[in-house]
Amino acid sequence: MRGIAILMVIGIHSLPQPLDGAWAKSLDAALRPCVPVFLFASGYLTALSGRVPLAKRLRAALIPYAIAFVAAYTYMALHNPAMDHRISTTLARFGLGYVFVYYYVFVYVCCTIGLWLVFAAGGDGHASRQRIATLLILSISCGLVAGSYLDPTMSRLGASDALLDELRMRDIPFWFSFVALGALTAMFADLTAQGVRRTLFGAMLAAYVLYAAVRILNLGDAATYDSIAFFLYAALFCVALFAIQPKSPLLGWIGSGSYFIYLWHIFVVMALRDHTALRQLDGVAGFAVTCGVTALVSIAALLAVRQLASPRICRWLGA
């Protein structure tokens, strides 16, 4: 699942910005469940193990992120002489993942802490499974409420569109709903029947058409993230992907290094956009070249790090 998700991430970041054409919005909509897939997998694996090794997960997330943050911050500073370098601003950037596309680190850390709290509150004993399930269901409900009312609430308080976008990308209750869904799937769902898979796949396609139409036609809450339409499509995508269970050694290998690719692929994208003639290509051609080159360079970099670096360095880089 993570191998597919990280390729979807590369696809999203390879799309021309802003998303003007219907084809770009349709493709962007199709690829958007990438972050929910990572969160779903985290919740699923946690429920199978029955525990959250909080310190281990935080170390595994924050050390590679800190290294990548320094590189990303340096790149941004070199390309933006007017960048604000005050210590408070820099610390805020680091804490909120406000460089490049690193908001997912903030989301993952907060969701991991949330999952640890749920399992801690669930306790031990025969009733713990029911308590944990109840808390997870309530978490999904709270996430949908937060996704529905964050935007109008902040708009009434005078938040700008740019600030709203940043807030919605970091809507932790909404993102945690995918972690909760993954955990509940591991605890209760049996998706092995062929009929169930076909039903899920059909429902996922219908949900995608709805989400893409909402985005393209700007119907109601047409936000990229934390809308009901997005949750429906992303949730069905995660469950359907889990039910299908694609078996590919290459995707599995890529997935095992997905965090490394996530942290470093964006440098390839930015270099292609800032230092090549890529902007002269039309939208589809530019997307294809950016996506292909970024995927190949990122996978080659992962292979090189694993072949040449020590196990400790690999862990520090997220590889």
The DSSP result for 139-186, as a single string, is HHHHHHHHHHHHHHHHHHTT--HHHHHHHHHT-HHHHHHHHHHHHHHH
- Across 19-38, average pLDDT: 89
Window from 6-20, 39-53, 56-70, 218-232 with minimum mean pLDDT: 218-232
Residue 125 has pLDDT above 80, yes or no: no
So what's the pLDDT on residue 192? 67
Name the more confident of 191 and 92.
92
Window from 1-10, 32-41, 222-231 with minimum mean pLDDT: 222-231
Half-sphere exposure of 167 (CA within 13 A, CB side): 16
- Across 262-267, average pLDDT: 92
Among residues 121, 125, 62, the alpha carbon closest in space to that of 94 is found at 62
So what's the pLDDT on residue 222? 66
So what's the pLDDT on residue 148? 81
pLDDT tens-digit map of 143-187:
888 888 887 888 888 877 777 877 888 889 999 999 999 999 988
So what's the pLDDT on residue 11? 92
- Read off the tokens for 27: 């493709």
Mean of all residue pLDDT scores within the chain: 87
So what's the pLDDT on residue 296? 95
Among residues 215, 244, 225, 179, the alpha carbon closest in space to that of 44 is found at 179
Percentage of residues in the chain having pLDDT higher than 70: 97
Backbone angles phi, psi at 188, to 5 degrees: -130, -25
Instruction: Note the Cα 170 to chain centre separation in Å.
Output: 11
CB 6 within 8 A of CB 261: yes
Window from 14-23, 27-36, 135-144, 220-229 with minimum mean pLDDT: 220-229
Backbone angles phi, psi at 48, to 5 degrees: -65, -40
CB 134 within 8 A of CB 189: no
- Across 293-317, average pLDDT: 92
Residue 49 has pLDDT above 80, yes or no: yes
Name the percent of the chain in helix, strand, coil, to the closest 5: 80, 0, 20
Q: How confident is the model at residue 60 (pLDDT cuts 50, 70, 90)?
A: very high
- Across 34-59, average pLDDT: 91
